[in-house]
Structure 1
Amino acid sequence: MSYEGKVVIVTGSSAGIGAAAAKLFAQEGAKLTLTGRDVERLRQVESECERLSGVRPLVIAADVCADDAARAVVDGTAEHFGRIDVLVNNAGTSSITNILAPDYLVEYDRIMATNLRAAVVITHAALPHLVKTKGNIINVSSMGGMSPAAGIGHYCTSKAALDQFSRCVALKVAPKGVRINTINPGPVRLNIFRSICLSNEQRQANEKHLPSEFILEPEEVGNLMLYLASDKARSITGSSFVIDVGALLIGANTVMKTIWKSN
Structure 2
Amino acid sequence: MIENTKADRKYDRLTAFLRAYDLRVEVLAAGQMSADAQLFIARDPETGSARRVVLSMQGGTADADGIAAEVIFGGAVNPLLAALPERLVVDLEAGTAMRAIVDLFVAEACSPSCGGATVRSRLGEVIVVLAIRRAIDRGVGAGLLAGLAHPTLHRSLVAMHDDPGRAWTVAELAALAEMSRGHFIARFRDVVGQTPTAYLTAWRLTLGRQALLSDASVKTVAFRSGFGSAAAFSRAFSRQFGYAPKTVRENALEPRPA
TM-score for both structures, normalised by structure 1: 0.28
Which structure: larger Rg?
A: 2
**Structure with greater contact order relative to length (CA < 8 Å, sep ≥ 6):** 1
